Amino acid sequence: MSVNIHPRVDFDVIASLVKPGSKVLDVGCGDGELLELLQTTKGIDGRGVELSQKGVNESVARGLSVIQGDADSDLKYYPDGGFDYVILSQTLQATRNPKNVLTELLRIGEKAIVSFPNFGHWRVRASLAINGRMPVTKDLPYSWYDTPNIHFCTISDFVDMTREVGAQVETAVALNAFGSRLGFNMPWGFWNLFGQQAVFLLKR
Amino acid sequence: MTKASRSTSKIDQKSQEATNPHSPVVDFGADKPLHLDSGVSLSPFRIAYQSYGELNADKSNAILICHALTGDQHVANVHPVTGKAGWWETLVGPGKPVDTERYFVLCSNVLGGCLGSTGPASINPETGKAYALDLPVITIADMVRAQAMLVEHFGIEQLFAVIGGSMGGMQVLEWASSHSDKVFAAVAIATGARHSSQNIAFHEVGRQAVMADPEWKEGLYLEAGTAPRKGLSVARMAAHITYLSETALHRKFGRNLQDRQNVTFGFDADFQIESYLRYQGMSFVERFDPNSYLYMTRAMDYFDLAAEHEGRLADAFAGSKTRFCIVSFTSDWLFPTSESRTVAHALNAAGASVSFVEIESDRGHDAFLLDEPEMFSAITGFIRSAARAKGLIPS
């Protein structure tokens, strides 16, 4: 169910947040690219859940432990604290109940890493403000009627939700359109305007 | 040679295989009784098996294949009775996903079977006659206990992998549950952790067909010199339908007529599907013992892994270090994907390492025995990664 956005610049940021040798669950792992990266570079014990059967089959053929499942309905089968990290990369916006999913991530993992496209980015705002149309960009290539992304949020919206579920933001990184990190000491409002995507490391 | 006398000779050959098989055997004597779930001990008993490839010096490259209801140990060699190729040569052999050039592959005829392991057609040493229904009822766990004794006989401390489909998949799950430390990797295909009510229902139809045949003689047909061929054949016909999908049946046979232009307004096999099923039934009779069919179906019916753990399937796999690969097929209505998903969820809940793929196929339950490239690539990837983790191939 991870929505393909290429190149996946968030992967390097996510990898930098994961401690070597940890136990990781990747929810919406696609074809297993991130899990394989983490296995190779960080020696993690990785598991994955993926909605699309094609992604699952490709992951398993790569030798990864991946099962077919839905972030909205299948996380309940995982035990409390079973993982050091639960990763949700570019998948949050495609879930039916993002708040519930985030709560589940923090129940299953000591920490959660969430990356998502920022709907507050100036290009998105400009598309709506100037053209009066739902934005279709290189990174968000779907039309409003066929998009799997049913719950877009902005960085500020996401920060609000972390407070609502009682999560602490341990690290946050915003990436601009070129995949470079935005300055650390900028206020949320600046990130919200210029960050094209964000990666959050949360803890309970 | 007439058709009748040829099939009689095959029947003879079949009883030969039960008592004196074309396979190596291991006899477990009075010092090694098998304690069955029914509370009875079976002793002596015999296990017949086939093996392929070489066991390595530290005995770490063994893969056990578990066969299905009407399968046997002849996974990858010509069958001694039918003369047909091994039943899983698509998966097992040199250069195949289960590569016999790299792994030592072992498959035994299950306890209660009829190809050389102790079963209802074997001679009961106490009477000098075939056991028939005097053989205690065998369960999936009993089959696995007997296999574990065979594995121990080879001096293998841990199997690199246990692989099986359908009833073979039940054995895989049982192995992983009750002998978890002896299984490094487990591949359970087109199976479930229990037999559903519908599955039991179909089996009961099959058993009743066998037992309704007057030639069955209350199970004593070997003594009486008869054979409930009609009954077993009908059982096989009914079961065979459950192994296929409607789409596959319709594609293969449609409403095509068998060697005729019009229906005959009678009860001959007008349709190709009728003729096909009759052939499936009759050829099955030539290689399978009717009482063994009763025992095998019963073993599957009794299987309920969660029930052995107070209804919590996850507890069957608690603390398991085994790596699991679960495979299902979209058109399998005998063991639908939901059954496999239940197993995958339980394994997740137990914190076990699990891969679960559903393969798109319209060929029904039998897809696991057929050429399914996506299944092969999943199993190949899974085995390769497990072999790296166990140090059998360089990482």
Confidence grade of residue A4 (pLDDT, cut at 50, 70, 90): very low
**Residue B173: CB atoms within 10 Å:** 30
User: Nearest CB to A67: which of B344, B385, B388?
Assistant: B344
- Does residue A139 form part of some domain? no
B166 flagged as catalytic: yes
- Render pLDDT for A76-119 as a digit per residue (tens, 0 to 9): 999 999 999 999 999 999 999 999 999 999 999 999 999 999 99
- Render pLDDT for B133-156 as a digit per residue (tens, 0 to 9): 999 999 999 999 999 999 999 999
Confidence grade of residue B11 (pLDDT, cut at 50, 70, 90): low
User: Nearest CB to B378: which of A45, A61, A77?
Assistant: A61
Do B323 and B362 lie in one domain? The reply is: yes
User: Nearest CB to B355: which of A45, A65, A82?
Assistant: A65
Residue A2 has pLDDT above 70, yes or no: no
How many domains does the structure of chain A reveal?
Answer: 1
Do B341 and B281 lie in one domain? The reply is: no
Do B54 and B176 lie in one domain? The reply is: yes
Residues in chain A closer than 8 A to B358 (CB atoms)? 53, 56, 68
**What pLDDT, on a 0 to 100 scale, did the predictor assign at position A123?**
87
Do B112 and B44 lie in one domain? The reply is: yes
Q: What is the DSSP letter of A3?
A: P
- Does residue A142 form part of some domain? no
When pLDDT is averaged across residues A166-184 and rounded to a whole number, the result is: 87
Domain stops at, among B261, B279, B297 = B297
Residues in chain B closer than 8 A to A53 (CB atoms)? 357-358, 360
What percentage of chain B reaches a pLDDT higher than 70? 97
- Does residue B344 form part of some domain? yes
Domain stops at, among B239, B268, B297 = B297
**What pLDDT, on a 0 to 100 scale, did the predictor assign at position B10?**
66
How many domains does the structure of chain B reveal?
Answer: 2
CB of B381 within 8 Å of a chain A CB? The answer is yes
Give binding residues of B for substrate as ranges: 236, 366
- Does residue A182 form part of some domain? yes
B365 flagged as catalytic: yes
Q: Residues B72, B213, B301, B332: which is the catalytic one? A: B332
- Does residue A92 form part of some domain? yes
- Does residue B349 form part of some domain? yes
Helix (H, G, I), strand (E, B) or coil at A95: coil
User: Nearest CB to A68: which of B323, B356, B380?
Assistant: B356
- Residue in chain A lying closest to B375 (CA): A57
Mutate to test the interface with A, among B348, B385, B393 (most CBs of A within 10 A): B348
User: Cβ of A67 and B349 within 8 Å?
Assistant: no
- Render pLDDT for B346-385 as a digit per residue (tens, 0 to 9): 999 998 999 999 999 999 999 999 999 999 999 999 999 9
User: Cβ of A56 and B385 within 8 Å?
Assistant: no
What's the CATH number where B207 sits? Answer: 1.10.1740.110
- Residue in chain A lying closest to B395 (CA): A40
Residue A1 has pLDDT above 60, yes or no: no
Do B208 and B167 lie in one domain? The reply is: no
Residue B212 has pLDDT above 70, yes or no: yes
d(CA B11, CA B8): 5
What's the CATH number where B35 sits? Answer: 3.40.50.1820
- Does residue B6 form part of some domain? no
When pLDDT is averaged across residues B32-39 and rounded to a whole number, the result is: 97
Across chain A, what does the average pLDDT equal? 90
- Does residue A137 form part of some domain? no
- Does residue A112 form part of some domain? yes
**What pLDDT, on a 0 to 100 scale, did the predictor assign at position B352?**
93
- Does residue B395 form part of some domain? no
**What pLDDT, on a 0 to 100 scale, did the predictor assign at position B9?**
64
Do B282 and B343 lie in one domain? The reply is: no
CB of B385 within 8 Å of a chain A CB? The answer is yes
User: Cβ of A53 and B357 within 8 Å?
Assistant: yes
- Does residue B378 form part of some domain? yes
- Does residue B84 form part of some domain? yes
Residues in chain A closer than 8 A to B349 (CB atoms)? 77-79
| Host domain of residue A186 | 10-118+150-203
Residue B306 has pLDDT above 60, yes or no: yes
- Residue in chain B lying closest to A79 (CA): B349
Do B382 and B362 lie in one domain? The reply is: yes
- Render pLDDT for B60-106 as a digit per residue (tens, 0 to 9): 999 999 999 999 999 999 999 999 999 999 999 999 999 999 999 99
**What pLDDT, on a 0 to 100 scale, did the predictor assign at position B3?**
40
Give the CA angle between residues B379, A31, B180 to the nearest 5°: 40
CB of B226 within 8 Å of a chain A CB? The answer is no
Do B50 and B185 lie in one domain? The reply is: yes
Do B42 and B164 lie in one domain? The reply is: yes
CB of B89 within 8 Å of a chain A CB? The answer is no
Do B186 and B217 lie in one domain? The reply is: no
User: Cβ of B381 and A61 within 8 Å?
Assistant: yes
B275 flagged as catalytic: no
Q: Phi/psi of residue B170, each to 5°?
A: -60, -40
| Host domain of residue B221 | 200-297
User: Cβ of B357 and A65 within 8 Å?
Assistant: no
User: Cβ of A63 and B381 within 8 Å?
Assistant: yes
**What pLDDT, on a 0 to 100 scale, did the predictor assign at position B305?**
97
- Render pLDDT for B219-275 as a digit per residue (tens, 0 to 9): 999 999 999 999 999 999 999 999 999 999 999 999 999 999 999 999 999 999 999
Domain stops at, among B248, B281, B297 = B297
Residues in chain B closer than 8 A to A56 (CB atoms)? 356-358
**What pLDDT, on a 0 to 100 scale, did the predictor assign at position A112?**
97
CB of B353 within 8 Å of a chain A CB? The answer is yes
Residues in chain A closer than 8 A to B312 (CB atoms)? none
Do B189 and B264 lie in one domain? The reply is: no
- Taking a C-beta distance cutoff of 8 angstroms, is the pair B244, B363 a contact? yes
Tell me the whole-structure pTM to 2 decimals. 0.91
**What pLDDT, on a 0 to 100 scale, did the predictor assign at position B30?**
94
- Does residue B9 form part of some domain? no
Q: How many CB pairs under 8 A join A and B?
A: 64
**What pLDDT, on a 0 to 100 scale, did the predictor assign at position A7?**
59
